[in-house]
Structure 1
Amino acid sequence: MLRKLAVRRGDESGFALVLVIGVSSALTILLVAGVALALGSQRKARTDQDWSSAMAAAYAGVEEYQSRLANDTAYVRFGNPAAQFSSASTNLTLPTGLASNPAFGIGKTGTWAEVAGSGGSAHFRYEVDSSTYSTAGQLRLRATGRAGGETRTIVADLKQQGFIDFLYFTDYEIQDPSISGKATSCVKHYWEGRTGTSCGEIQFGGSDVVDGPVHSNDTLRICDATFKGIVSTAYNPTTGLKYLAQGSTGTSCTGAVFENGKPVYSPSIPMPPTNSELRREVRNDLAAEVPRPGCLYTGPTSIKLNSDGTMTVRSPWTKKTVVSGSPATAGAISSQCGTPGTGSNQLGSATGAKITVPDHNVVYIQNVPSLSSDPNFATTAATTCKGASGAAGNGIGYPVANEVVPTASAYGCNVGDAFVEGTLDGQLTIATENHIYITGDIKYKSAADDMLGLVANNVVWVWNPVKSDKSNLLSDSGRRIDAAILSVAHTFQVQNYDQGVSRGTLTINGAISQKFRGTVGLISGTAISSGYKKAYKYDTRFRYTAPPKFLSPVTTTYGVSTWIEVDTAFDPDGSYR
């Protein structure tokens, strides 16, 4: 019996040994697997960290390039012309000497810029495409970040931040003193000490709907209007006057609607003194800066935009359509701008010249030069300075029959006024040394493709002629304007806004920028009694692009309008993929 038990115990000991060995083996396998998993996870974590760091480095490259533009607005001229992404750009050069930039490196032997604070563990390089800068103020940047053994690339669109970032922009919330007759002492912002309601303050009224971002360097006066976008003002942070809930006479009102929150602070945006920068765009002696000059017209000029991609231009005083020098000393006739003269299909004829819209370019209308050395110098004869009825006028039909001239300065015969209407097929900026009169609807043939800028040194008028009894000459109702509108030194205003009867709704699809607030209608109670009520809607394309060569503020920055990750441009060793 004892022997049998002993044998059995020996059998159980063998089984235990096998069990111990099996468990040990299993534990060993699990341990090895655990170590392998830990090492793999560590490697993956490191790869993930490098992957994320490479993207952060690419973003850092975009921000670094923006800072260079902020410190030097002319930095757009720099880039590596040999870079693949820069092939469509023009006139790019590499900065040299102390100004050299390692981020412009390409290839295996090319340099990378170090991300600040990374201790040399992260780098970036970028390539610039400035091919649309001269026309739309837009730059494209392809930035590649590198960290560890990973690289990632993003493309960012950078646009000048300026007036067309807003549906409505005004420097001063008062009527233009040159129109209202108010004292020049009124020309100060409310938060700078302008007091009372005697300076021609203008309100946003109850029938006004403003569908887009708004900014004023002044304090807005708002009475029951509806704002669908963000509203900002350069109010004095000490007094906190973001806006006044008052009508133009000082009466309190509480019905304003701010769908994106009440007005907030944003710094003043300085206006340029003139639009002379656009005048440079019609010179043929600046090949490097102006490789494709636009069209120069002289004296009162009418422009009818045609839906077939043409425009009909009447400009009797024009002799040369491109010039050289400032002041101009020579000129030429550009075939794209029409032929001066009074013959058939010529600029000085009664029906004008029909030409192709100078697409992605500028038309500038200048005053008749007073210097005899100027190629467009002319002596305006009284016999030619007539309106439609034979009375004194501008020689191209204004004032029209039975129209009472609104001001002594209206319809001058030797000034650079443009009279514009029609349907645009193309992208164009029309700029004037004096006024712009919008004589009818201005519409786009294609809301997706067409774009217009209207830039006057002085007033942009919505033409609204009246008779001697103050009744309206025009019988239509409503006016639509598709454009980015800018009055550099004065205002955007409806002519004779306080005479006649209600003209319906003024629909703006675009952006309005002006030095002084312009009046478009009179309110009687809650309704418009004369002029127009407002229906302003922002053209959201202006967030990303602009009409050709549209003016920017005196000081400007570049904001990123869009960015997207793309296929990696460079391998970690610097070679192109």
Structure 2
Amino acid sequence: MSRRASPPATGSVASTSPTGSVASARSAPPALSVLRRLGSTLRRDEDGVALVMVIGVGAVLALLTVAAVAIALGSARTARTDQDWNGALAAAYAGVEEYQSRLAADPSYGRYGNPAAPYSAPSATAISLPAGAAANPAFGVGLTGSWASVPGSGGTASFRYEVDVSEFDITGSMSLRSTGRVGTQTRTVIAELKVNSFLDYLYFTDYEVADPTGASAAVVHDCTRYAYAGRTDANHCGELSFIGSDVLNGPVHSNDTIRSCGATFKGPVTTAYSAPSGTPLYAPMDSNSHPCGASTFSPATGPTTVGAVVMPATNAALMLETRSDLTTPAGCLFTGPTQIVFNATGTVTVRSPWTRQTQVTGDPASGGSAPAACGVPGATGLGSRDGSTFAVPANNVMYVQDVPAVATDPNYWSPTAFPPVQEATGTGTVPLSCTGVDGHGSDNGIGYPTTNESASATDYGCRTGDAFVRGVLNGSVTVATSHLLYIVGNITLANTTRDMLGLVGNDAVLVWNPVDASGVSVMPDAERGSRSIHAAVLSVNHTFRVQNPSKGGARGSLTVVGAIAQKFRGTVWVRTPDGTVHGYTKDYSYDSRFATRTPPKFLLPVSTSYAVTLWIETRAAFAADGAAR
């Protein structure tokens, strides 16, 4: 009997054998079936995971790309900002240099500025905008104000500046606030500018020869040439030499060739002499042209060459400071021989008999006034033996002029007229006498020449603009004369940090040294011995020297704390052929304050430049759009 196959169980899976026969799942082992099902599941899961991983990696890469682009763009912006930031500072400096160049081309450019500029407010009444072709875009202010382009920047960098000249007449310095702009960045610097002047040096001389005044025209012509420009010794110009006992504690300059025999220079020494390579810039020889030992220099390399410092022809510019129609407040003008005694209390006592008006107006002077700030003219005031006492003119000028010869001048006196004076308090007045105490010689009416003094008619003129100065100064002032300026006693400062004095003679500045006919000193006992002078001294057309330098015997030391400038070398010490010493040994020290300040309205060289004495960066004064910050 045959058997029938049973049908597959429900749920069984049929499969195809490699030979094409179909077998039921029942025919495979159970473990293999499970593995097959697991493998199929894993294959399906791997496909999903790979897709997720691809998407994730793509997203990360996209984020990194975005971040990289953002960082690159941010770095570019930062680099650009940094570049503009640095460029704005450079533009501000460029503004300072541009303003310096304008001052070098025109020393009076300080009168220009924008009165509306915030920084210029203290000097707004002293400045004005240049007009027309001279207009300066750097003086712009505000949103609509102009900027000056930095040369070579293609217009990408610009600057504007504001000037404050309110302290210039007092200190010789001005302040400039310069703002640079590049892109959206602005930066501001403040620079203090000081005019280069005679007072950059402890000792300045135009010609290294004795004053040739009074010599023949040929000698004067020859002696007013520099040694390197063809001056000869044949005309006996009297070239003077520094000697071994001379010690100069500060910078020294000469437009000529310096002679020195063993002197010690403790500051830089400069000359306008430009020698061939290898040639010394000074002459190691004495005043008789004899070779001598080397001098000591600091730095040890010796003198260096710089440009010439040009002397003005006159100090008349200082007289303009006494015109009330030009200057507010004006200085004080005195006429004829004038005695000036500074008092430690902050006052000054002036005796000036010829003075009618102490301030004037017009050019030539045609009007005048006598403010109390300059003393009281007349027989019982400036004309009296006791003089008139008043406060030292603050940061101003006291100028002594010759008695005017023009009848329309407010200080005119006819040739036959003499001012009334009071010889003693409570007495009547008498006409000023210009006759010497012996009844024969000349006198200037205020005590010079002194008793038994032998003097020429040119030493003390009765109508000349000579000043006789001494005392203790408490204040800051410049004394100037149209003729001679005598230092008749010690001149010191009540406060060496605060007080400052300028002495400017149009002609010589003399250390008073009176002698009799035999050459013996007749100096009053109270004035004998060493002399101290704390001042900036300038002789425009002649020299700073001791009066009668080869007479009167040894006087001690001449101490100068300040600065000395002169056209010709002056003699302060002489050893005569018999070995006798006369005059003073030098003890000169530089007043370091002159590096940043000058006495009020002190006279400047003909050509000047301005050096930066202080730089400081401050908060930007303007935004890039020009708005004030």
Q: Which 10-residue stretch deviates more, 38-47 or 53-62?
A: 38-47
Alpha-carbon spacing, 1:84–1:388, altered in 2? closer, same or farther (3 Å)? farther
The Cα RMSD (Å) is 3.1
Query: C-alpha displacement at 1:236, in angstroms?
Result: 4.2
| Contact map agreement 2:442 2:457 (CA 8 A) in 1 | no
Query: C-alpha displacement at 1:387, in angstroms?
Result: 4.8
1:496-551 Cα distance to aligned partner (Å, 9 max, x none): 222233222211111111111101112589x9922111122222222222111111
Within 2, Cα distance between the matches of 1:512 and 1:23?
85
Alpha-carbon spacing, 1:560–1:22, altered in 2? closer, same or farther (3 Å)? same
Q: Which 10-residue stretch deviates more, 531-540 or 22-31?
A: 22-31
Counterpart of 2:252 (choices 198, 203, 214) is: 214
Structure 2 residues without counterparts, runs of 5 or longer: 1-31, 419-430
Which residue is equivalent to 1:347? Answer: 382
SS of 2:126's partner is coil
1:183 and 2:219 correspond: yes
Which residue is equivalent to 2:268? Answer: 230
1:99-121 Cα distance to aligned partner (Å, 9 max, x none): 22221111222211111111222
Which residue is equivalent to 2:447? Answer: 397
Within 2, Cα distance between the matches of 1:227 and 1:523?
22
Within 1, Cα distance between the matches of 2:483 and 2:81?
63
Within 2, Cα distance between the matches of 1:252 and 1:21?
99
| Contact map agreement 1:380 1:414 (CA 8 A) in 2 | no
1:271 and 2:345 correspond: no
Alpha-carbon spacing, 1:383–1:279, altered in 2? closer, same or farther (3 Å)? closer
Which residue is equivalent to 1:95? Answer: 130
| Contact map agreement 1:169 1:512 (CA 8 A) in 2 | yes
Within 2, Cα distance between the matches of 1:298 and 1:273?
21
Q: Which 10-residue stretch deviates more, 117-126 or 556-565?
A: 556-565
Q: Which 10-residue stretch deviates more, 181-190 or 450-459?
A: 181-190
Which residue is equivalent to 1:107? Answer: 142
Within 1, Cα distance between the matches of 2:289 and 2:111?
51
1:382-429 Cα distance to aligned partner (Å, 9 max, x none): 970145666531111111123222x44111111111000111111111
| Contact map agreement 2:476 2:501 (CA 8 A) in 1 | yes
Within 1, Cα distance between the matches of 2:66 and 2:263?
73
Residue correspondence of structure 1 range 449-460 to structure 2 within 5 A: 449-460=498-509
Which residue is equivalent to 1:499? Answer: 551
Alpha-carbon spacing, 1:504–1:570, altered in 2? closer, same or farther (3 Å)? same
Which residue is equivalent to 1:438? Answer: 487
Within 2, Cα distance between the matches of 1:83 and 1:563?
20
Please, what TM-score do these two structures have when normalized by structure 2?
0.83
SS of 2:242's partner is coil
Query: C-alpha displacement at 1:376, in angstroms?
Result: 1.8
Q: Which 10-residue stretch deviates more, 434-443 or 543-552?
A: 543-552
Q: Which 10-residue stretch deviates more, 352-361 or 127-136?
A: 127-136
Counterpart of 1:139 (choices 174, 182, 185) is: 174
Q: Which 10-residue stretch deviates more, 516-525 or 292-301?
A: 516-525
Counterpart of 2:242 (choices 192, 199, 204) is: 204
Query: C-alpha displacement at 1:76, in angstroms?
Result: 2.0
| Contact map agreement 1:491 1:515 (CA 8 A) in 2 | yes
Which residue is equivalent to 2:286? Answer: 247
1:116-144 Cα distance to aligned partner (Å, 9 max, x none): 11122211010111212334332211000
SS of 2:122's partner is coil
| Contact map agreement 1:387 1:396 (CA 8 A) in 2 | no
| Contact map agreement 2:550 2:576 (CA 8 A) in 1 | no
Structure 1 residues without counterparts, runs of 5 or longer: none
Alpha-carbon spacing, 1:165–1:282, altered in 2? closer, same or farther (3 Å)? same
Within 2, Cα distance between the matches of 1:97 and 1:340?
47
Query: C-alpha displacement at 1:227, in angstroms?
Result: 1.0
| Contact map agreement 2:261 2:286 (CA 8 A) in 1 | yes
SS of 1:513's partner is strand
Which residue is equivalent to 2:569? Answer: 517
1:374 and 2:423 correspond: no
Alpha-carbon spacing, 1:470–1:528, altered in 2? closer, same or farther (3 Å)? closer
| Contact map agreement 1:141 1:155 (CA 8 A) in 2 | yes
1:487 and 2:539 correspond: yes
1:550-570 Cα distance to aligned partner (Å, 9 max, x none): 111122222222221112111
Alpha-carbon spacing, 1:200–1:36, altered in 2? closer, same or farther (3 Å)? same
SS of 1:269's partner is coil
1:231-261 Cα distance to aligned partner (Å, 9 max, x none): 1111144595621011111122233111123
SS of 1:191's partner is helix
| Contact map agreement 1:425 1:450 (CA 8 A) in 2 | yes
Residue correspondence of structure 1 range 510-549 to structure 2 within 5 A: 510-523=562-575, 529-549=581-601
Query: C-alpha displacement at 1:293, in angstroms?
Result: 1.5
SS of 1:69's partner is helix
1:72 and 2:111 correspond: no
| Contact map agreement 1:126 1:141 (CA 8 A) in 2 | yes
| Contact map agreement 1:386 1:397 (CA 8 A) in 2 | no
Residue type of the alignment partner of 1:248: S
Within 1, Cα distance between the matches of 2:56 and 2:513?
100
Alpha-carbon spacing, 1:442–1:33, altered in 2? closer, same or farther (3 Å)? farther
Within 2, Cα distance between the matches of 1:253 and 1:38?
74
Query: C-alpha displacement at 1:38, in angstroms?
Result: 5.3
Within 1, Cα distance between the matches of 2:303 and 2:56?
76
Query: C-alpha displacement at 1:36, in angstroms?
Result: 5.8
Within 2, Cα distance between the matches of 1:19 and 1:208?
94
Which residue is equivalent to 1:312? Answer: 349
SS of 1:500's partner is coil
Aligned length in residues: 565
Residue type of the alignment partner of 2:152: G
Query: C-alpha displacement at 1:329, in angstroms?
Result: 2.7
Looking at CA atoms only, which structure, 1 or 2, has the larger radius of gyration?
A: 2
Within 1, Cα distance between the matches of 2:316 and 2:573?
31
Alpha-carbon spacing, 1:45–1:200, altered in 2? closer, same or farther (3 Å)? same
SS of 2:206's partner is strand
| Contact map agreement 1:361 1:429 (CA 8 A) in 2 | yes
SS of 1:158's partner is strand
Within 2, Cα distance between the matches of 1:25 and 1:204?
89
Residue type of the alignment partner of 2:281: K
Query: C-alpha displacement at 1:25, in angstroms?
Result: 9.7
SS of 2:155's partner is coil
Within 1, Cα distance between the matches of 2:57 and 2:388?
99
Which residue is equivalent to 1:336? Answer: 373
| Contact map agreement 1:57 1:144 (CA 8 A) in 2 | yes
